[in-house]
């Protein structure tokens, strides 16, 4: 069998792929939504911008930049793919996944902070709702931790086999 096929057989490869897909999902879907009390405006935060939309025609009233969240999400997805391709070097894979966990944690923190500050300017009396983009970051963090666990398990298995020789 091919060495590249070994990568596909390992469960952590699937988990790392899910990390990348989740972080790309963050860039494509809203992270947070809020509707004004009079229900004539909606604030929508994505990884790229925060917009206030006039309802029902959804014309943009104002827009601010959130590109830092999108850039971090794309970097985390790219790092997950790079880590996936480093399947022959488990120690490097573990290090990359730990760096990625920090990157995703920072992304999550920025998303929460941005939604909090946006809520203060739009409607501080009522909290908005986190939606798919936000939960994708949390899912990616959990799946990354599971991938690390399986990589460590593989590393310990290889070490035990080496001791037996």
pLDDT greater than 60 at residue 2? no
As to burial, measured by CB atoms within 10 angstroms (0-12 exposed, 13-18 middle, 19+ buried), residue 81 is: middle
pLDDT greater than 80 at residue 19? yes
Length of the chain: 165
d(CA 91, CA 95): 6
pLDDT value of residue 163: 63
45-95 residue pLDDT tens? 999 999 989 888 888 888 899 999 999 999 999 999 999 998 888 889 999
The label of the residue with tokens 């399986």 reads 150
What the chain holds in terms of domains, given with CATH numbers, is 12-164 (1.20.140)
d(CA 68, CA 115): 14
Strand partners, 45: 32, 50
pLDDT-derived band at 7 (thresholds 50, 70, 90) equals low
Computed over every residue of the chain, the mean pLDDT equals 88
Task: Return the axis-axis angle of helices 132-164 and 67-85, rounded to nearest 10°.
Answer: 20
pLDDT value of residue 149: 92
Collapsed DSSP state (helix, strand, coil) of residue 32? strand
The label of the residue with tokens 């909090």 reads 116
pLDDT value of residue 6: 52
Task: Return the axis-axis angle of helices 90-122 and 11-28, rounded to nearest 10°.
Answer: 20
d(CA 37, CA 29): 24
d(CA 142, CA 151): 14
The label of the residue with tokens 């997805």 reads 77
Candidate from 40-49, 83-92, 129-138 with smallest mean pLDDT: 83-92
How many C-beta neighbours within 10 Å does residue 78 have? Answer: 14
pLDDT value of residue 162: 62
């Amino acid at each position: 069998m091919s060495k590249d096929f070994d990568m596909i057989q390992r469960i952590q490869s699937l988990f790392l792929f899910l990390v990348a897909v989740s972080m790309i999902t963050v860039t494509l879907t809203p992270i947070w939504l809020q509707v004004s009390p009079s229900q004539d405006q909606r604030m929508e935060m994505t990884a790229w911008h925060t917009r206030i939309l006039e309802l029902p025609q959804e014309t943009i009233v104002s827009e601010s930049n959130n590109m830092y969240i999108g850039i971090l999400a794309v970097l985390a997805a790219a790092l997950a793919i790079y880590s996936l391709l480093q399947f022959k070097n488990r120690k490097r894979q573990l290090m990359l996944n730990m760096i990625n966990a920090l990157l995703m944690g920072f992304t999550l923190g920025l998303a929460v902070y941005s939604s909090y500050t946006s809520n203060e300017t739009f409607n501080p009396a009522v909290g908005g709702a986190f939606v798919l983009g936000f939960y994708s970051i949390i899912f990616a963090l959990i799946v990354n931790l599971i991938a690390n666990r399986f990589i460590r398990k593989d590393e310990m298995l290889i070490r035990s086999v080496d001791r037996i020789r």
